Each structure stands twice: as C-alpha cells, then as structure tokens.
Amino acid sequence: MKPTPWFTLSWSGYTLELSRRTHVMGVINVTPDSFSDGGQFFEKERAIEQALQLAGDGADLIDIGGESTRPYSKGIPQTKK
C-alpha cells in the first residue's frame, strides 16, 4: 500500500497538518435564527466564550457561521461580513 501524501494547510503563519490524524472542528453559529443552537451565540461575548471553550476542549479549528442558510433568508452585506 502506498503511503498517503501529506496535506498541509497554511494561513497567516499557522500550519495544520491534515494527513496525520483526524481533526475536530467546532462550529459556532452567530446568526439570530440559528436552527442548531437557537441563536444562543448571537452576542459577541458569548461567541468568544464558546470559541475559547471549544478550543479548550480540543477543537483544532473553529468555524464561525455568520450567515443564515435557511430557505428564504436574506443575505448580509459584504461590509458586515
């Protein structure tokens, strides 16, 4: 069996080796109409607390969901993103 080639993701001086092990991604939805958490992380301070908690619990990546994808939801302007 051929060894799997290594895949490295790099950004802003950080590097994440994706081929060596499975990684865990924490997700925080910061939209008021979030279906998964009911908007409990809509406030900036709560979102930051949750991100720190997820990182402390071992999340390798944090995904911030900042725009609703529910049917018929309005997009947000680029300036707010």
How far apart are the C-alpha atoms of 49 and 71, rounded to whole Å?
A: 29
**Is the CB of residue 31 less than 8 Å from the CB of residue 39?**
yes
pLDDT digits 0-9 by tens, 62-75: 998 888 777 887 88
Tokens 């709560």 correspond to: 46
DSSP class of residue 71 equals T
Q: Is the entire prediction scored with pTM above 0.75? A: no
- Both tokens of 79, joined, read 């300036």
Condensed to tens digits (0 to 9), the pLDDT of residues 13-49 reads 988 888 888 899 999 988 877 767 777 888 889 999 9
Contact 24, 59 (CB under 8 A): yes
